[in-house]
Structure 1
Amino acid sequence: MSRGSILLAASVALGAMALSAAGCSKQDKAAVGESGNAVEKADKVRLQLKWMTQAQFAGYYAAKAKGFYTEEKLDVSILPGGPDIVPEQVVAGGGAEFGIDWLPSLLSAREQGTPLVNVAQVFQHSGMREVSFKSSGIKTPADLKGKKVAVWFGGNEFELLATLDKYGIDRNKDVTLVQQPFDMNLLVTKQVVAAAAMTYNEYKQVLDTGVKPEDLSLIDFNEEGTAMLEDGIFAREDWLAKDPKNKDIAARFLRASLKGWAACRDNANECVDVVLKQSPTLGKDHQAWMMAEVNKLVWGPPAGPEPGMMDKAAFRRTADIALKFKVIKKPAEDSAFTPEIYELAKKK
């Protein structure tokens, strides 16, 4: 071989090595850090919300914006909900690893054969109230007897029904229940003496009409002992059991999410801004109100178990009310929730 051929061959070999090194560099760029150490690939998971983007879910958006999910090596997609989206169906169908919904909906889905399990109870208190004008004379639930009362049906009426039952009021004979639209017009125009409202949403709508808080009476189902658990995180049981890694993913997801909720407790205004960047559907004033009220449901007052921990007494009360009013046909078993993910999340 001539000297020129040798030089040409060497040049080709060196070029091939350079191209190979460059290709390797591009291919492994996401897997190798600047120090040359391997970087663990993030696990992709999806969270299906119960409703559209708003401060009700601020903790999850904060966890994403502040990098808490990234710190846990998670790539989290947050999927907004809506009137036509049932989180249980989405998770059951594999459209998301985690979902947010009220516990009675989860119990109903389980009874119908969908293998879902609550892995964390974030809201420790119910945000639902029955609101009336003081001028109507409604001071306690007993005063609803003989009155026209509005409430949302489709699974939202059970706290009111349990309260009526507690006071010996027959819902079919002693009170007129009215299907309530998702606004407060029936109450504001005084077509009913009382209407359902979430503290973080519809109650604010009443105040926005110029009504003062001191002009209103609230029936608090938490105080009545008839409250049901809302906004818990659930997953598929078979997904958790399929691979030990999935329980670890769930624990990391919960740990980061709770950090997000703590951030919203400590800096509510910043969390409101995070939510508004995602969706400006509700104005800043309304979102700020929502954030303040949601923080009470997560953290108190009144004080409750730590967010994420299931209060067994609250679970049983919710399950018993669900059974009584035929949301479920059989008593719910404690296996509808698992403390394991919360315990794993708290270990780190």
Structure 2
Amino acid sequence: MGKGTQMGFIARRGRGATVLTGAALGALTLAGCSSDSAEPAASGSDSGSDTATEAPAELTPVSVQLQWLTQAQFACYYAAADQGFYEEEGLEVEILPGAVDIVPIDVLTSGGADFAISWVPKVLGAIEQGAAVTNVAQIFERSGTMQVAFADSGIESAADLAGKSVGSWGYGNEWELIAGMQASGVTLGDLDGGSTVQQAFDMNAFIAGDIDAAQAMTYNEYAQVLETENPETGELYTADDLVVIDWNDEGTAMLQDAIWADSERLASDEAYAETTTAFIKGTIKGCVFAKDDPQAAADIVTAAGSTLGTSHQLWMANEVNKLIFPSTSGVGHINEDQWEQTVGLALETVNPEGATIITADPPETAYSNEYVDAALAELADEGVDTMGEGFEPIEVTLNPGGE
């Protein structure tokens, strides 16, 4: 199996005995979760058997390229490594952190990693340009993207963005915003006297009043506002001070964090195909662990190198759990209706330059439930709950600055 050229986080031992090798990851300070430059140990967890299984004498080395830096957005993978779930599946997994200048699908297709984590609309464009990759597990079932405004801004829906200063990260993160505005009759390139603003991967411009409605992730930038002092009250901002436009509610949500594999290797390399199922299985067990003990998951990510504050990291773990659980078909299964909505929006949504994400339907190889369904079947046999029907998020209190 190919190893990435970057240094990353590698699990070499069993549950609770992870070894960090290489650089422990760059810092993320008030940074967005989803950019890539050209694209667009808790007891009581039900994430595995009651006792750790004996790992094979020889493990298959596997590398996965993340879409962004080390943070609880990727708690499933770090928890799976830390708790020995990958090793139980015969894998030694190296987790490669992302960065602004790293495009996960490029790393995957160039052989720099065996798997990559990326948002579906970003990868659809890459597939149309020739990238032979397959979505083999849709880890996030819901979108975590929102547009945030202050309650006194007069903004309550996407239609109200007309004439306003609207923040957008770009780099392929803007498509839900564009789709939501387009569906409400607002054209991104002409906001009736308003303007679009290239937003940094933080909420500083929004808090300063330079942006009327800022792009945010439920698990990151939204929390950045809530852990900031309101100068008018001397207290932290609260949800009552804000209005959010949730693209899940607006009907323009697109699929986000998915596991991507090399299509040609899946078709020609039986060992790689088997490894794909094993990697998905271990990852899902990591997701279940993070659901059952978000504090432990947050601590694991921090130990892996993230410099996010303690309360911010826990907030992120908790919010990410909401994007995964409860699952309608089992964690990672790609629901056809959600796939079709994402593809439909990718075909219809027009950016200011008049371009859509894709111009034709993607090939059948763009996604497959073969490997994730095999993993889900094995997990069901092991008694792992991959649906999380009784999932209840915890209450997280954010501290100033997320500390």
CA shift digits 1:106-149 (9 cap, x unpaired): 11111111111100000001100000011111112222222221
CA shift digits 1:292-342 (9 cap, x unpaired): 100001114xx5432201111111111122222322222224431011101
Contact kept? 2:56, 2:90, Cα under 8 Å: no
Write the distance in 1 (CA, Å) between the matches of 2:108 and 2:249. 33
CA gap of 1:116–1:137, structure 2 versus 1, over 3 A, is same
SS in 1 for 2:141: coil
Matched residue, 1:110: 127
Letter in 2 for 1:200: Y
Structure 2 length normalisation: TM-score? Answer: 0.74
SS in 1 for 2:197: strand
| Structure 2 unaligned residues grouped into runs of 5+ | 1-54, 229-235, 351-355, 379-403
Q: Which is further off, 228-237 or 168-177?
A: 168-177
CA shift digits 1:244-300 (9 cap, x unpaired): 222111111111110000000001111111111111421211100100100001114
| Structure 1 unaligned residues grouped into runs of 5+ | 1-37
Write the distance in 1 (CA, Å) between the matches of 2:341 and 2:263. 23
Letter in 1 for 2:307: T
1:341 to 365, 371, 394: 371
Percent identity of equivalent pairs: 43
CA gap of 1:240–1:335, structure 2 versus 1, over 3 A, is closer
Matched residue, 1:159: 176
TM-fit CA distance, 1:40: 5.3
Contact kept? 1:43, 1:73, Cα under 8 Å: yes
Q: Which is further off, 95-104 or 316-325?
A: 316-325
Question: What's the C-alpha RMSD, in Å, of the aligned pairs?
Answer: 1.5
1:307 to 288, 311, 331: 331
2:195 to 176, 180, 192: 176
Contact kept? 1:124, 1:305, Cα under 8 Å: no
- Structure 1 residues 99-138: aligned runs within 5 Å: 99-138=116-155
Write the distance in 2 (CA, Å) between the matches of 1:85 and 1:145. 33
User: How many residue pairs end up in the alignment?
Assistant: 309
- Structure 1 residues 189-228: aligned runs within 5 Å: 189-209=208-228, 210-228=236-254
Matched residue, 2:266: 240
Write the distance in 2 (CA, Å) between the matches of 1:146 and 1:331. 34
Letter in 1 for 2:370: E
Higher Cα Rg, which structure = 1
SS in 2 for 1:108: helix
Q: Report whether the alignment pairs 1:272 with 2:291.
A: no
Matched residue, 2:161: 144
More helix by share: 1
Matched residue, 1:188: 207
Contact kept? 1:106, 1:117, Cα under 8 Å: no
Matched residue, 1:3: none
Contact kept? 1:149, 1:178, Cα under 8 Å: yes
TM-fit CA distance, 1:39: 5.1
